Structure 1
Amino acid sequence: MGFDYALVHLKYTIPPAALLTLLYRPLFTKLDVYKIAFLVAIAVVATIPWDSYLIRTRIWSYPSYVIVGPTLLEIPLEEVFFFVVQTYNTSLLYLILSKPTFQPVYLHAGPDASRGQWRTKRLAGQTLLLVAIAWGWRCIKEEGPGTYAGLIIVWAGPFLLLLWSLAYQFILGLPWTNTVVPIMLPTLYLWVVDTLALRRGTWVITAGTKYGVHLWDGLEIEEALFFFITNTLIVFGQLAFDNALAVLYTFPHLFATPPRLPSPALLMRALLTPCSKYDGARLTGLKEAVHRLKRKSRSFYLASSTFPALLRADLLLLYSFCRVADDLVDNASTAREAQEWITKLHKFLDNVYSDTGSSLVVSEHVRSHFPADTQSALLQLPAAKLSPQPLRDLLHGFEMDLAFNTAPLIETDEDLRLYSERVAGTVAQMCIQLIFQLYPTNLPTEEQRKIVAAGNHMGVALQYINIARDICVDAQIGRVYLPLTWLSEVGLSYDAVLKHPDHVQIESLRMRLLDKAFSLYEKATGAIQKLPSEARGPIRVAVESYMEIGRTLREDGYVVKAGRATVPRWRRVMVAWRTLNK
C-alpha cells in the first residue's frame, strides 16, 4: 500500500481542475454539465476494458507500494480517477477557449458542403485513420516492440474515425483556439506529469512491448502518443457535441423546439442531417451578423458570448438589422437618399407585419429595393418574436438623426431623452422581448411591462455613454447631441462645438451626461434580477461592458481618443468575469 499515485492527483491533476472550475464557474450551465458528464461517462466506459487488458497482460503495471489498493477489474482506483479528471480538465479548457466563438457560422450548407473540397478532406482523414488502425493491428499481431503503440491506436482509432466522420467540418473549420490549443496544452502538461511519474516508478511499461524511444529523457514515445490521442478524443468529442448543438439550435425548420438537454439519439440525428438540408440563407445572415458585430461593437460581441446559443443567434440577427438600417441612412450621399431608405424600411416593416403579407412578398421587396450585402440582415430579422412598435420607433430615431442636416435637433434634456429612447431604448426593449419569447415567465403582465420600461431606461443610459464617448467623432459628421440649453449654460454655441469639440468646457458637459447615464443605470439595474435566470448574467455582462466605457471616461487624467475603442480587451474580459461572479 502506498500513496505515490494518489499524490500525483493531489499535486498535478486536482489543482488544475480546481483552477479551471474557478475560472469557468460563472459561465457554467446545465448544458455544460451535461456535456462534460456525457464525455466522462464515455471515457470511463470505453477505457476500462482496454486498460484492464493492458494490466492483465502485464503491458503496464503499478507496483503495490505506489497505490492505495482498491481496484476495478484490476485497475487501481487512482487510474480510474485519472480517466475522469483528464476528461474533466481538457473539457473545461475547451469550453473556456471556445466560449467567444459563435460556432454555427462554421457550418456549411448546400451540396458544395458534401462534395468537392470538403468531401476530399473527409475522405483523406478517414483514409489516414484506417491506415493507422491497420498498422496498429499489425503491430499487435507481431507481439513485438510495437505492441503498446498498436494497442493505443487500435483502441482509439475507431472512436477518432467516428468523430472525424461526423464532425470533420468543425474539426477543420473552427479557429485553432477551439481545436489545437485545448488538445496541445493538456497534452504538454501531462507529458511533464508522466515524465515525473515514470521516473519515480509510479507506473511501469514492460520492456519488449515498447520501442524504447523517448520524446525527451524520461518520456516514452508511447506515453506521449497516449496522452496526445486521449486529449484529441476528448476535444473531438466536444466538437462533435457542439456540432450537433449548432445544427439543433440554428435550423428551426429542421428542429422546431429542441430540448435544452438533447438526448444522445437527437444529437446523433442532428449530426447525420445532410448539409443540403441546412438553411443557407440563415447561415449567411448569421455569418454577416457576426462580422458586423465584431467590426462595430467589440464590447457587445464579447458580451454576446455569455448568452445561451438560441438567444445569442436572435440577438445577433437583431443587431445586424439595426446596424444595417442605421448604416443605410448614415451612409446615404444626400438627405433625400437617406429619407428614401427610411421610407423603404417602413415599407419593409409594413410587409413583415401585414396580415396578408407573405414571406415571398417580403423577400421580393427586399431583393428589389435593398443592396445585396444588406438583404440577409432584413430577411433574417426575428420579426415573429418582436412587436412592430420598437422597430418603428427605431426608424423614427433615424429620422431625428436626419434632421441634423437642416438644423440642430437636441435642444433640451427631453429631446435628448426622446432621441436616446428611440435609437437605444427600443433595442433594449426588443432584447427583453426576445428573452421572454425564449424563456417564458410567470410574472404578471404589469411586472413584465415594468421590466421592459427599465430596459428602455438602461438603453438610454448606454446611449448617453455612447454620446459622451463620441463627442469628437460626431462633430466630424456635423452632429452635436449635447442639448443646446447645456451649451448655452457654459457659453458655447452649436457651431463652436462643431469646430472645437475638444473645447475645455466640453469636459464638464461630458461629465454631466455621464452622471445622468449612471443615475438611470442605478435605477434600472435592479430589474435585471427579475429576468429569467438563463439571461440574467449575460444581460449584466452586456450592460457592465458598456458602462465600463463610462467609468473609464470618468477616470482622472483619462484622455478621450478619437477612435471608438476606449476600454482594453483585458479589462472588458475582467469586467465580464467579475459581473458573472456576483
Structure 2
Amino acid sequence: MGYDYAIVHLKYTIPPAILLSALYFPLHTRLDTYKLAFLITIAVLSTIPWDSYLIRTNIWSYPASVIIGPKLFDIPLEEVFFFVVQTWNTTLLYLLCSKATLHPVHLAREKKGDSWKWVKLVGQVGLGLVIKKSADWISEGKERTYLGLILAWACPFLFLLWSLAYQLLVNLPWTTTWLPIVVPTLYLWVVDSLALKRGTWVINSGTKTGIHVPGFGLELEEAVFFALTNCLIVFGLVAFDNAVAVLNIFPAHFPEVPALPSPALLIRALLLPAAAYDEDRMLGLQQSVDRLKRKSRSFYLASGTFSGRLRIDLVLLYSFCRVADDLIDNAQSSTEARDWVQKLRNYLELSYSAPMKGGDGSLRHARDRNQGVATHYAVQNFPQDAVLTLMLLPTERLNPEPLFELLKGFEMDLEFSQTGPSRDTPYSTPIRTESDLDIYGARVAGTVALLCIQLVLHHYPGASEQEAKRLMTAGHDMGIALQYTNIARDLAVDAANGRSYVPPPWLKKEKLTSESLLSALTSGKPDDDFLSRKIETMRSRLLDRSFLFYERSVGAIEELPSPARAPMRVAVESYMQIARELRTPGYRVKAGRATVPKWKRIAVAWKALMGPAKRRDGA
C-alpha cells in the first residue's frame, strides 16, 4: 500500500481541475453539465476494458507500494480517477476556449463537386491506414505492441467522430480545437515523465519501442497515448456541439429541441446529411455574426453568454436593427433615407400580414404564403447583404408594435436633416424637451430591449401575464438607459452628422444653443476650457438620466428565467461600463467615441456573471 499515485493527483491533476472549475463556474449551464457527464461516462466505459487488458497482459503495471489498494477490473482506483479528471480538465478548457463561438456558423451545406467529400475521405483513409498498421504491430507481438494497442483502441473512435463532425473539426478556430488538445497534452507529458521516473507506473520493456520524446525524456507510447486521449475528448466535444448546432439552427428539421437533448436526438442530428442543410439560414447567421463583430463589440461579447436558439434569435434581431440603421444612416439624401424607412415598414407589414398563431394547416399555409411574398419583396428592394437578415428576423416570436415603433425612431432622426445650422435657416431638432428625448430613447432602444425580453420569455416560458408585463416594462426602461449612454458617448460623432440630442432647455440653462454646441463639437476642440466644461456638463446630465433609468429597471434582471439572468447582466453591464468610463477623467477615445479596454470589458462581464452587485451605479 502506498500513496505515490494519489500524490500525483493531489499535486498535478486536481489543482488544474479546481482552477478550471473556478474559471468556468460563472459560465456553466445545464447543457455543460450534461456534456461533462456524457463525455466522462463514455471515457470511463471505453477505457476500462482496454486498460484492464493491458494490466492483465503485463504490458504495464502499478507496483503495490505506489497505490492505495482498491481496484476495478484490476485497474487501481487512482487510474480510474485519472480517466475522470483528464476528461474533466480537457473538457473545461475546451468549454472556456469555445464559449464565444457560435457553432452553427461553422457548418456548411455540401453540394455536388465541392471539396467536403474529399476532406472527409482523406481523414477516413488516413485513420483507416493507421488502424491497419496498428493491427500489424499487435500481431507481431514485438516492441511495437504497446504502440499498436494504443492506436488500435483510439483510432476507431477518432474515425467515427471524424466521420460525424469533420466540418466543425476543420472550420472551427484553432483556439477552439487545437489549443485544448495541445495544452493538456504537453502538461501531461511533463507529469507522466515525472511519474515514470518515480516508478509510479511501469511499462514492460519487451513491448515498447524504447524511443523517447526529446526534451521530455518520455516514452513515445506514453506521449502518443496522452495526445490521442485528448484528441478523443475534444473530437467528442466537437461532435456533441455539432449535433447541438444542427438542432438549433434547423427548426424545419427539428421543430422542438429540449434543453437537454437525448443521445438518440443528438445522433439523429449528426446523421442529418449536410446536403439537407438550409444554406440561407447558415449564411444569414454568418453575416449577422460578422456584422456584430464589426459594429457592436459589447453586444457580441454578451451574446456569447446566451445559448441555444435564444442566442441565435438575439443575434438575428440585433443584426436586423443594425441593417436598418445602416440603410438609413448611409443614405445619400433625406429622401432616400425616408424611402428605406418606408420599405422596411412595407416588409414588416407583409411579414405580419399572415396569422402569427394557429394550429391548423390552412393558417400555417397562409402564413408561409405571405412570408414568401415578404421574402420576394426583400429580394426586389433591398441590398443583397441585407436580404437574409430580413428573411431570418424571427417575426413569429416577436410582437410587431415595437418594430414599427423602432421605425418611428428612425424617422425622428431624419427630422434633423431637413434643415440645419446655417446663416439663412434656423437649426431644427425633433428633441425639444426632455420628454422628447425619452420618447426617442424608447423608440430606438427601448423597443429593442423589449423585443429581447420577448424572446427570452418565449424560449423560457412560465411567467404569468403580469410578470411578463413587468419584465417588458423594465426592459423598455433599460433600453432607454442604454440609449442615454449612447448619446453621451457620441456627442461629437452625432454633431458631425448635424445632430444634437441635448434638449434645448438644458442648453439654455448653460447659455448655449444647439448651434453653438454643434459648432464647438465639430471644431475638433472647444474654443476654451469654459465651453469644454459646459459640454462635459451636458454629457454628465445625459449620464445622470441614463443611471436614473438603469437604477429603476436593473433589479428586474433577477426576475428573468434563471438561464437568462447572468447573460442579461453581461449585456447590460458591458454597455453601462461605457457610461462609467465617461465619468472617469482621461477616458479612452477612439474614432471620436469613448471606448472600454478589452481587458476591462472581460472583467466587467466576469463580474456580471458572478451575480448582481449591491450597487452598479456611476458613482
Q: Same fold (TM over 0.5)?
A: yes
**Structure 2 contact 110–116 (Cα < 8 Å) conserved:** no
Give the letter aligned to residue 438 of structure 2: R
Shift of 1:563: 4.3
Greater alpha carbon shift after TM alignment, 491-500 vs 452-461? 491-500
Say yes or no: does 1:425 pair with 2:424.
no
Shift of 1:302: 0.6
Shift of 1:145: 1.1
Aligned to 2:432: 411
Shift of 1:483: 1.2
Correspondence for 1:388 among 400, 403, 416: 400
Give the letter aligned to residue 401 of structure 1: D
Give the letter aligned to residue 151 of structure 2: I
**Structure 1 contact 346–392 (Cα < 8 Å) conserved:** yes
**Structure 1 contact 367–375 (Cα < 8 Å) conserved:** yes
Give the letter aligned to residue 451 of structure 2: M
**Structure 2 contact 189–216 (Cα < 8 Å) conserved:** no
Per-residue CA deviation, residues 30-53 of structure 1 (Å, 9 max, x unaligned), is 110111111100000000010011
Aligned to 2:121: 123
**Structure 2 contact 492–592 (Cα < 8 Å) conserved:** no
Give the letter aligned to residue 429 of structure 1: L
Per-residue CA deviation, residues 468-522 of structure 1 (Å, 9 max, x unaligned), is 1111111111111111221222122222222221531111111111111112111
Task: Tell me, in whole angstroms, the C-alpha distance in 1 between the residues paired with 2:323 and 2:119.
Answer: 36
Q: Secondary structure at the match of 1:358?
A: helix
Correspondence for 2:496 among 476, 487, 493: 476
Give the letter aligned to residue 222 of structure 2: E
Aligned to 2:15: 15
Say yes or no: does 1:447 pair with 2:467.
yes
Aligned to 1:500: 520
Q: How many residues align?
A: 579
Shift of 1:580: 1.1
Unaligned segments of structure 1, at least 5 residues? none
Say yes or no: does 1:465 pair with 2:481.
no
Unaligned segments of structure 2, at least 5 residues? 355-365, 419-427, 527-531, 612-619
Give the letter aligned to residue 384 of structure 2: A
Aligned to 2:422: none
Q: Secondary structure at the match of 1:518?
A: helix
Correspondence for 2:561 among 509, 525, 532: 532
**Structure 2 contact 379–387 (Cα < 8 Å) conserved:** yes
Shift of 1:560: 4.0
Per-residue CA deviation, residues 297-317 of structure 1 (Å, 9 max, x unaligned), is 011101000002210000011
Q: Secondary structure at the match of 1:555?
A: coil
Per-residue CA deviation, residues 399-450 of structure 1 (Å, 9 max, x unaligned), is 000110022221211111111100000000000011111111232x223212
**Structure 1 contact 335–402 (Cα < 8 Å) conserved:** yes
Shift of 1:269: 0.7
Alignment of 1:137-286 (within 5 A): 137-215=135-213, 216-286=215-285
Task: Tell me, in whole angstroms, the C-alpha distance in 1 between the residues paired with 2:594 and 2:256.
Answer: 39
Aligned to 2:423: none
Shift of 1:571: 1.0
Task: Tell me, in whole angstroms, the C-alpha distance in 1 between the residues paired with 2:196 and 2:297.
Answer: 47
Say yes or no: does 1:54 pair with 2:54.
yes
Shift of 1:559: 5.0
**Structure 2 contact 566–609 (Cα < 8 Å) conserved:** yes
Aligned to 2:606: 577
Give the letter aligned to residue 540 of structure 1: R
Shift of 1:110: 4.4
Aligned to 1:368: 380
Correspondence for 1:436 among 420, 442, 457: 457
Give the letter aligned to residue 426 of structure 1: T
Shift of 1:561: 3.9
Check 1:565–1:377 CA distance in 2 against 1; reply closer, same or farther (3 A cut). farther
Q: Secondary structure at the match of 1:317?
A: helix
**Structure 2 contact 587–594 (Cα < 8 Å) conserved:** no
Shift of 1:121: 0.8
Task: Tell me, in whole angstroms, the C-alpha distance in 2 between the residues paired with 1:349 and 1:557.
Answer: 44
**Structure 1 contact 198–218 (Cα < 8 Å) conserved:** no
Task: Tell me, in whole angstroms, the C-alpha distance in 2 between the residues paired with 1:221 and 1:446.
Answer: 66
Q: Secondary structure at the match of 1:333?
A: coil
Alignment of 1:55-70 (within 5 A): 55-70=55-70
Alignment of 1:513-532 (within 5 A): 513-532=542-561
**Structure 1 contact 544–575 (Cα < 8 Å) conserved:** yes
Task: Tell me, in whole angstroms, the C-alpha distance in 2 between the residues paired with 1:125 and 1:447.
Answer: 53
Shift of 1:222: 0.9
Alignment of 1:313-324 (within 5 A): 313-324=312-323
Say yes or no: does 1:343 pair with 2:342.
yes
Shift of 1:463: 0.6
Check 1:108–1:581 CA distance in 2 against 1; reply closer, same or farther (3 A cut). same
Per-residue CA deviation, residues 231-251 of structure 1 (Å, 9 max, x unaligned), is 000000000000000001111
Q: Secondary structure at the match of 1:39?
A: helix
Task: Tell me, in whole angstroms, the C-alpha distance in 2 between the residues paired with 1:235 and 1:560.
Answer: 41
Task: Tell me, in whole angstroms, the C-alpha distance in 2 between the residues paired with 1:91 and 1:323.
Answer: 35
**Structure 1 contact 469–560 (Cα < 8 Å) conserved:** no
Task: Tell me, in whole angstroms, the C-alpha distance in 2 between the residues paired with 1:389 and 1:347.
Answer: 14
Aligned to 1:38: 38
Aligned to 2:81: 81
Task: Tell me, in whole angstroms, the C-alpha distance in 1 between the residues paired with 2:588 and 2:258.
Answer: 49
Give the letter aligned to residue 129 of structure 1: L
- Moved segments of 4+, more than 3 Å: 559-565
Q: Secondary structure at the match of 1:500?
A: helix
Task: Tell me, in whole angstroms, the C-alpha distance in 1 between the residues paired with 2:542 and 2:330.
Answer: 27
Task: Tell me, in whole angstroms, the C-alpha distance in 1 between the residues paired with 2:206 and 2:167.
Answer: 40
Give the letter aligned to residue 464 of structure 1: Y
Shift of 1:218: 2.6
Q: Secondary structure at the match of 1:548?
A: helix
Q: Secondary structure at the match of 1:208?
A: helix
Shift of 1:217: 4.5
Aligned to 1:95: 95
Task: Tell me, in whole angstroms, the C-alpha distance in 2 between the residues paired with 1:217 and 1:248.
Answer: 43
Task: Tell me, in whole angstroms, the C-alpha distance in 1 between the residues paired with 2:115 and 2:370.
Answer: 37
Shift of 1:276: 1.7
TM-score (norm 1): 0.98
Task: Tell me, in whole angstroms, the C-alpha distance in 2 between the residues paired with 1:564 and 1:489.
Answer: 26
Correspondence for 1:548 among 539, 561, 577: 577
Q: Secondary structure at the match of 1:111?
A: coil
Task: Tell me, in whole angstroms, the C-alpha distance in 1 between the residues paired with 2:563 and 2:184.
Answer: 30
**Structure 2 contact 581–594 (Cα < 8 Å) conserved:** no
**Structure 2 contact 441–484 (Cα < 8 Å) conserved:** yes
CA RMSD of aligned residues (A): 1.2
Say yes or no: does 1:136 pair with 2:157.
no
**Structure 1 contact 59–206 (Cα < 8 Å) conserved:** yes
Task: Tell me, in whole angstroms, the C-alpha distance in 2 between the residues paired with 1:217 and 1:451.
Answer: 58
Check 1:59–1:436 CA distance in 2 against 1; reply closer, same or farther (3 A cut). same
Task: Tell me, in whole angstroms, the C-alpha distance in 1 between the residues paired with 2:592 and 2:334.
Answer: 26
Give the letter aligned to residue 546 of structure 2: A
Greater alpha carbon shift after TM alignment, 166-175 vs 115-124? 115-124
